[in-house]
Structure 1
């Protein structure tokens, strides 16, 4: 149909809206996060991940690749077996912060 976006465009518009909104709120409207907001967001994300993994297991689904790596080759293949590939990005981030503190 004329005027419809391809599905890939919709994906990038939806996911690109999150960082654009964050930048607009902080720099455009001068709304900054409160102290402890990062930790709260992290804990809520872990809770959501645990709930989603439980629901995935209960209904036999695989939303977000939380219960295992995809069947096709992806970057997950280089981050170890399930569930360790969920932890690797966090470990890399912490090591990067530690290196920055040393230098």
Structure 2
């Protein structure tokens, strides 16, 4: 079944993620953070993503031009998995800022062709929701706190990655991170001007979004 933006299946996925976030916040003082469960979630995210690549290969959909883990959310997912497994604080800013910023945009305007009950539907929303909930878990339950330095570090990391990904795009004729064109089914980029100017606009939007996240969460104190 073809995925339709803001259909019942889309709203259901959004609702599940929102409800999970609300439950995480309301139960934050009752949750006993334990590495065993954090690693369990990390494994489920990894298995789900590996399953996605197995499906791509088995259905002859895997291609260098669009199947490498070079999208912002793919990179954020890998960082979230390692963060869950290790608790490494150096990964937290990227997962929090780039992860929430990218996954939130992806959940609201998915680049997705298959809907419920296809595996791809569950993979897309489980992994993107997992990124968001991982960032919130480490903030609300573990007590990690976003900083403005983290905003700058995340912007620097992204700008160091962009030339590399742009080169990969040229080599494989891809469009990772939408560095060559906008997504065809509509997204936030439609409001940021034509190519290549929307890339500059996106830098400003990313910085603004990261700064808003920092302002919203900087004074939060964990249990």
Same fold (TM over 0.5): yes
**1:51-70 to 2 correspondence within 5 Å?**
51-70=164-183
- Residue 7 of structure 1 is aligned with which of 102, 107, 120? 120
Shift of 1:35: 5.9
- Residue 28 of structure 1 is aligned with which of 120, 141, 150? 141
CA distance in 2, matches of 1:51, 1:81: 22
CA distance in 2, matches of 1:15, 1:78: 23
Q: Tell me the TM-score normalized by structure 1.
A: 0.69
Shift of 1:90: 4.1
Residues paired across the two proteins, number: 91
Moved over 4 A (4+): none
CA distance in 2, matches of 1:77, 1:33: 29
CA distance in 1, matches of 2:182, 2:196: 8
CA distance in 1, matches of 2:179, 2:124: 20
Shift of 1:86: 2.2
Residue 186 of structure 2 corresponds to which residue in structure 1? 74
Shift of 1:89: 3.8
Q: Which runs of 5+ in 2 are unaligned?
A: 1-116, 213-223
Residue 39 of structure 1 corresponds to which residue in structure 2? 152
Give the SS at the match of 2:182. coil
Q: CA RMSD in A?
A: 2.6
CA distance in 2, matches of 1:44, 1:89: 15
CA distance in 1, matches of 2:153, 2:192: 26
Q: Which has the higher contact order (CA 8 A, sep 6+)?
A: 2
Listed one character per residue, the Cα deviations across residues 28-86 of structure 1 (whole Å, up to 9, x for unaligned) are 1112246612211110011112210111112322223211224x352333322212222
